[in-house]
Amino acid sequence: MIRITLAAIATLASLGASIGAEAIRPSPQRPVLKPEAVVTGDIVRIGDLIENAGIVASVPIFRAPNLGYTGTISADSVLEAVRGHALIGVDTAGIRDIVVTRASRTIPIKEVEDVVARALSSRFDIGQAKDIVVTFAREPRAMYVEPSAQGTPRITQIDFDARSGRFDAMLEIPAGSGKRTAMRLLGRAAATVEVATVTRTIDRGGTIRDSDLQFERRPRAEVGREMITSREQAIGLAARTNLQPGRPLRAAELMKPDLVQRGDAVTLVYEVPGIVLTLRGKAMEGGALGDTISVVNEQSKRTIQGTISGAGRVLIRSSSPQLAANNAARSGTSDTR
């Protein structure tokens, strides 16, 4: 009797353990639609659109959007596509459409322009690549390649007409798996030069400051030698005429800034060997450094010629130093240095 009881207990314990193991064994998770997906390659697979798709996750069901583009697939279309693959009980989670994006690497148009400019510079010697402006006959869209595509765009062939500036080029771009695709590019190219323009209206006599200048690229053929092409050529000079924004700045429109204005009180400096005399004077003309102007000696009331040597300072080189010295002595107000 005891043996039977023990055997029954052992059987019940074994059965309980079995039931317990079944209870803790995880049940398969229900397949659920994803709200969005990012795919690589040109195929959309079941696992891209449905979580917990199991062994059918790698089965292809749709074509992917073009590289770099995004599209939508309705939930009904997805359910219809997977019905034949024994995937049932898919939870739509209230999703009506799934957004699908084709993963890609972008090749900017600026990079393509630079590639063309370098090819023109090296093969036709029309200037440095950084100075060549490229415009396409039909502006290409941004180019997309597979994320895994290695390498950069390159020009395999290019023709150029220097007179018209037209070019005809073949461009190769990486396409993944070591492959490359080619496309034809037509357009114009021109060597350019940076020229200075002013950022504000500057009246005659106004001094050019660094903040007054900006630079724009203009075709080299249109730029004469007189155009300002660097900041050093303009900063600190004055406008000879009124300057307007947007117009290329020319050397003829600039001058040294006036250090003396008409009617200014100035210091007249007489120089003779061993003697320097200074007197008060009045400018009859304005001028810049090095200009010769007429001034009035306020002691003798004589009008004489002198050279502007600094702000408010005019140098008089007299041909008769003795007379100048005597005039200065009679005035009683001169300084001797």
3-state secondary structure 145-166: ECCCCCCCCEEEEEEEECCCCE
**pLDDT at residue 331 above 50?**
no
Residue 18, token pair as written in the block: 């079995």
Looking at the DSSP bridge assignments, the partners of residue 60 are 45
The pLDDT > 70 percentage for the chain reads 85
Q: State the average pLDDT over residues 324-334.
A: 44
Q: Between these two residues, 278 and 9, which has the higher pLDDT value? A: 278
Residue 67, token pair as written in the block: 């590289």
**Pairing outcome for strands 70-74 and 105-107:** unpaired
pLDDT digits 0-9 by tens, 105-164: 888 899 999 999 999 999 998 889 999 999 999 877 778 888 888 888 999 999 999 889
Report d(CA 169, CA 182) in Å as an integer. Answer: 10
> 98 falls in which pLDDT band (50, 70, 90)?
very high
Q: State the average pLDDT over residues 260-282.
A: 86
Domain covering 194-257 in this structure, CATH number: 3.90.1210.10
**Pairing outcome for strands 97-102 and 36-39:** parallel
Is the pTM of the predicted complex or chain greater than 0.75? no
What are the residue boundaries of the structural domains of the chain, listed by start?
A: 37-102, 107-192, 194-257, 259-336
pLDDT value of position 174 = 83
Mean pLDDT, the chain, rounded, equals 83
pLDDT value of position 287 = 84
> 333 falls in which pLDDT band (50, 70, 90)?
very low
Report d(CA 327, CA 238) in Å as an integer. Answer: 37
pLDDT value of position 14 = 52
Task: Report the 10 Å Cβ neighbour count for 36.
Answer: 13
Residue 1, token pair as written in the block: 């009797």
> 22 falls in which pLDDT band (50, 70, 90)?
very low
Q: Which of 332, 330, 314, 218 is nearest to 269 (CA)?
A: 314
Q: State the Cα torsion 160-166-170-172 to the nearest 10°.
A: 110
pLDDT digits 0-9 by tens, 180-215: 788 899 999 999 999 999 999 999 888 899 999 999
Q: Is residue 19 within a helix (H) or strand (E), and if so which, with residue range?
A: helix 2-24
Q: State the average pLDDT over residues 48-66.
A: 92
Q: Per-residue DSSP letters for 284-297?
A: SS-EETT-EEEEEE
**pLDDT at residue 318 above 90?**
no
- Whether residue 120 contacts residue 64, with contact meaning beta carbons closer than 8 Å, is answered with no
pLDDT digits 0-9 by tens, 287-302: 888 888 999 998 888 9
**pLDDT at residue 101 above 80?**
yes
pLDDT value of position 2 = 41
Task: Report the topology of domain 259-336.
Answer: SH3 type barrels. (2.30.30)
